[in-house]
Amino acid sequence: MAGYDIGLSGLNAAQSAFDIIGNNIANAATPGYHRQRIELSSAYSSQTGASMSIGGVNVEGATRMIDNLLEQEILRQQSTLGAAAQKVSVMETIETAFGEFASAGSGLNAAIDNFFNAMQDLSSHPEDSIWQNQLVNSAESMAAQFRTLGEYLGTLDGQIYLQAQNTTDSINVLVQQIGTLNAKIEEIELIGGQANGMRDQRDQCISELSELISIQTIIRENGIVDISTEGISLVTGAVSSSLELGYDTNGRLGVSMVGAGNFTSYIEGGSLGGLMTLKNEIVADIHDDLDTLAVAIMREMNALQVMGIGSAGSFTELTSAALGNGDLSDLANLQDGQFSIRLTNTATGEITRHTIAIDAANDTVTDVAAAISAFTGLTASVNAADQLTITADPNYQFDFLPCVLPTPSTTDFDDPSPPAVTVSGIYNGVENDTLICTVKGDGAVGNGSLELEVRDGSGGLLRTLNIGSGYAAGDPLELGNGVVISVGLGNLAESNGDSFTVDVLAESDTAGFLAAAGINTMFSGNNAANMNVSLAISDDPRRVATALGAEGTDNFNVTRMAAVKDKAVSSLEGMTCGEFYRAFATDIGQQLSTMKLNQENVKVMVLNLENQRSEVSGVDINEQSAQLLVFEQMYQSMAKYMNILDESIDSLMDLL
C-alpha cells in the first residue's frame, strides 16, 4: 500500500512544517532565536520492469539558519561596545565631578587662581590681618577642592573594583550555564537528535558573555562550543572554569582562573575589560595627575614658607608632623644637604646661625634632635609618635631665615682698632655662596685709595668698592644681589692681608628637611585626598611667612610665593600649576569625546551586523505566513489524495 505511505509521509511532512513555522512565528521577538527551516527529501523510489516503488517524502530535520562567521564578528564587536559603554559611563561622572565644563568660575582651576591672587594681594599688605585671613581662606578652599576630588577618585576606584567583582560573578554564572548547555546539546546530538532550541539558548548566553568580557570561540562537532579569553580557558566541552579578580605583580587589576593566581590585566573587551582599563590606566592616570599637582603646589609653597617668618615673628617652639619610624630615608623629597637655624638671644641681641648636616640615607630623627640640642639656646626631642619638637631656651627665639647675619661670617683684620663692619639686606641670588671681601691699599677708611675687592666663593670678581677718599664711614655699600655692608672708622691694610667674608643664603634648607618633616609648613599631606592647610597657620594667619628679613616686615617671601603661579615646575612637565591643571582637565573632556565617538561608531557597526544577521537568521512573519499557506495547501492536497485513494479502494472492493 505504497499510496498510503506516500500520503502519510506528506501529511507528516506538512505537520512537521506547521510545527517549525509555528515555532518560528512564536519566537519572532525572542532574543537570540535563529529561524529554523524544515529539510525535506524525496523518499526512496525504484522501478523494476513495469513495477514501480515510490516512497513519498522524508523529513530530514530542521536546520538552524546561522552564519557562524557573522556571529563571531558580532561577538567581537559586542565586546568592544561593552568596553566603550563602560568607559563612557564612568568618564561622564568624572567630567561632571571636575566641573570645569559645567559652570564658569568654579572648581579647582578657579580655586588655584584665587589662592595665588590672594597671595599677590598679601604681597602688597604683608602685615595686614585682612589680607592674611583672605590668603588662609583661599588656601583652605583650594585644599578642600583637592580633597573633594581626591576622595571622589578614591571612592570611584573602589566602586570600579566592586563593579568588576560583580561583573566577574556574572561571567562565572554564564560560563556555568554554557557548560551545562554544551553537555545537554552533545548528549542529544550524539544519538542523532537535534537541539536547536538549546543551541539558541547557549548562543544567547555566549552573546551576553561577550558583552561582559572579550572571548574567543571554537565550534566543535556535536554542537559543542569552547570559549576562552586571553589564553584563559572558560569552557571546554561541558567543563567550565570560574574566574577571580586580583592584582598582578605590577599592582594592576587582573583576572585569573580561581586558585591559579596568575592574574592577567590584558583584558580589553567587554564591561570587565572597560572596568580594568579604567582602574589600571584612565582613572589611575587622572588620580596621579591630581596628586602630582597637589604635591607640586604643597612642595613649592612649603619650601618657601619654611624659610620665612610672618608678622607673628620668630618661634619659641615648633613641632613636626609624625615621621614614621624615625628614619629620614622614609621622608619624601629629602636629599643629602643641610639646614640652618638662626638663633636670637633676646636678652643680648646676639644673632647666630647653626647648621645641621643631613645624611638622607642614614640619619634618623633622633640624630637630628641630638645635633640641634648641641647648640646653646636650643633643645630638640622626639616623642612617641616620632614627632620632632624644637624648643628655644628662655630668652631665645629661632627661625630659618636665610637673611645675612649683622656681622661678617669671618673677619681677618690685623690692626688693633679695626673698623666695625655691619651687614644687612636680603640676598636674592640663586645659590648659596660666600662673598670674600679683600682690602686693597693701606690707610684709614674714608681716606686715600682704599678699596674692597669683592669675589664670590669660586674666586670670580664681582665688584670693587671704594672705601677710601670720598667714602663716608658708615655709608651703605652694595655687595650685590641685595646684600649691603657699611664700614666704620678705622685702619685697613692690604699689606696685612685684611679681609672678611659674608655667607649669603639663597635657601636655608638645601636638604629639604624642614618641608619634608612638616616644620613651619603652609600645607600638610602627601596627596590630593589628604591636603590640608597646616593647623598652626589656620589658627594664626600671622604665621604665613611673608618676610625674609629679620624684622619680619618685608614682602620678599610672599612675593616669591605669588611668583610660583607663573613658575614652570619640573614635576609638572615644565608647566605652571594652572597650565598643568587645565591641560589634564581638558584631556578628560577630549578623552570622553573620543570615547563617545568610538562608542557611536561601534554601535552603528553592531546595528549593521545585527541587520545582516536578521536577514540570515531572523523571522519574517510575512515569509513564514506564505510558507504556512504552501504547507496548508500541501496538507489539504495530501488529505484529498488519501480520500481519493480510499474511495478507489472501496470501489474496487465493490466490484469484487
What are the pLDDT digits (tens) for 54-94?
Answer: 678 888 888 899 999 999 999 999 999 999 999 999 999 99
**For the residues of 514-540, what is the DSSP string, one character each?**
HHHHTSS-SEE-SSGGG-EE-HHHHH-
Helix (H) or strand (E) holding 476: strand 476-480
Q: Is the pLDDT of residue 616 over 60?
A: yes
Q: Do residues 432 and 504 touch, judged by C-beta distance below 8 A?
A: yes
Task: Tell me how many degrees the CA angle 273-277-279 measures, rounded to the nearest 5.
Answer: 115
Q: Do residues 490 and 422 touch, judged by C-beta distance below 8 A?
A: no
pLDDT tier for residue 571 given thresholds of 50, 70 and 90: very high
Q: Which amino acid is at 131?
A: W
Torsion of CA 212, 217, 219, 225, to 10 degrees: -40
Query: Please, where are the H alpha helices in 565-617?
Result: 577-617
Torsion of CA 151, 154, 158, 161, to 10 degrees: 150
Residue range 553-568: mean pLDDT, rounded: 95
Find how far residue 20's CA is from the centre of its chain: 56
Q: Do residues 427 and 404 touch, judged by C-beta distance below 8 A?
A: yes
Please tell me the number of Cα atoms within 13 Å of 286 on its side-chain side. 29
pLDDT tier for residue 101 given thresholds of 50, 70 and 90: very low
> Which one-letter DSSP state was computed for residue 315?
B
The percentage of the chain sitting over the pLDDT mark of 70, rounded to a whole number, equals 97
What pLDDT sits at residue 644? 87
Q: What does the block give as the cell for 272?
A: 570587565
What pLDDT sits at residue 294? 96
Please tell me the number of Cα atoms within 13 Å of 24 on its side-chain side. 27
Contacts of 76 (CB under 8 A, 6+ apart): 210, 214, 269
Please report how the helices 577-617 and 283-305 are oriented relative to each other, as an axis angle in degrees rounded to 10: 180
pLDDT tier for residue 9 given thresholds of 50, 70 and 90: confident
Task: Tell me how many degrees the CA angle 253-598-276 measures, rounded to the nearest 5.
Answer: 5
Q: How far apart are CA 524 and CA 298, in angstroms?
A: 8
Contacts of 2 (CB under 8 A, 6+ apart): 53, 54, 55
Q: Do residues 528 and 146 touch, judged by C-beta distance below 8 A?
A: yes
Q: How far apart are CA 586 and CA 38, in angstroms?
A: 59
Helix (H) or strand (E) holding 12: helix 2-26
> Among 149, 131, 140, 126, which Cα is nearest to 534's?
140
Residue range 9-24: mean pLDDT, rounded: 89
Contacts of 174 (CB under 8 A, 6+ apart): 205, 208, 209, 212
Residue range 349-374: mean pLDDT, rounded: 94
First to last CA, the chain: 18
Torsion of CA 381, 384, 387, 392, to 10 degrees: -30
> Among 199, 190, 185, 162, which Cα is nearest to 66's?
199
Contacts of 250 (CB under 8 A, 6+ apart): 265
Q: How far apart are CA 182 and CA 77, in angstroms?
A: 24
Condensed to tens digits (0 to 9), the pLDDT of residues 172-183 reads 999 999 999 999
Residue range 261-268: mean pLDDT, rounded: 88
Condensed to tens digits (0 to 9), the pLDDT of residues 310-355 reads 999 999 999 999 888 888 998 988 999 999 999 999 999 999 999 9
What pLDDT sits at residue 105? 59
Q: Do residues 554 and 308 touch, judged by C-beta distance below 8 A?
A: no
> What does pLDDT average to over the chain?
91
Classify strands 239-240 and 337-345 as parallel, antiparallel or unpaired. Answer: unpaired
Residue range 448-458: mean pLDDT, rounded: 93
3-class DSSP state of 349: coil
Spans of all domains in the chain: 2-65+624-655, 70-285+582-608, 410-504
What pLDDT sits at residue 46? 59
What pLDDT sits at residue 47? 58
Q: Is the pLDDT of residue 102 over 60?
A: no
Condensed to tens digits (0 to 9), the pLDDT of residues 619-637 reads 999 999 999 999 889 889 8
> Among 131, 151, 139, which Cα is nearest to 113's?
139
> Among 36, 35, 39, which Cα is nearest to 13's?
39
pLDDT tier for residue 585 given thresholds of 50, 70 and 90: confident
Other Cβ atoms within 10 Å of 272 Cβ, number: 31
Sheet holding 337-345: strands in order across?
351-358, 337-345, 396-399
3-class DSSP state of 68: helix
Contacts of 193 (CB under 8 A, 6+ apart): none
> Among 385, 375, 569, 413, which Cα is nearest to 491's?
413
pLDDT tier for residue 7 given thresholds of 50, 70 and 90: confident
Q: How far apart are CA 23 and CA 629, in angstroms?
A: 15
What pLDDT sits at residue 48? 56
Q: Do residues 2 and 586 touch, judged by C-beta distance below 8 A?
A: no
Span of 1-10, 42-51, 307-316, 353-362 with lowest mean pLDDT: 42-51
218 burial via Cβ count (<10 Å: 0-12, 13-18, 19+): exposed
3-class DSSP state of 102: coil
Q: How far apart are CA 606 and CA 84, in angstroms?
A: 13
Residue range 226-235: mean pLDDT, rounded: 92
What pLDDT sits at residue 647? 78
Q: How far apart are CA 206 and CA 234, in angstroms?
A: 11
Task: Using the structure block, give the residue that is written with the C-alpha cell 677718599.
Answer: 469
Taking CA atoms, 249 is separated from 264, 265, 269, 513, 538, in Å, by: 10, 10, 22, 33, 42
Residue range 530-542: mean pLDDT, rounded: 95
pTM of the predicted structure, to 2 decimals: 0.86
Torsion of CA 620, 625, 629, 632, to 10 degrees: 100
3-class DSSP state of 209: helix
Q: How far apart are CA 385 and CA 101, in angstroms?
A: 44
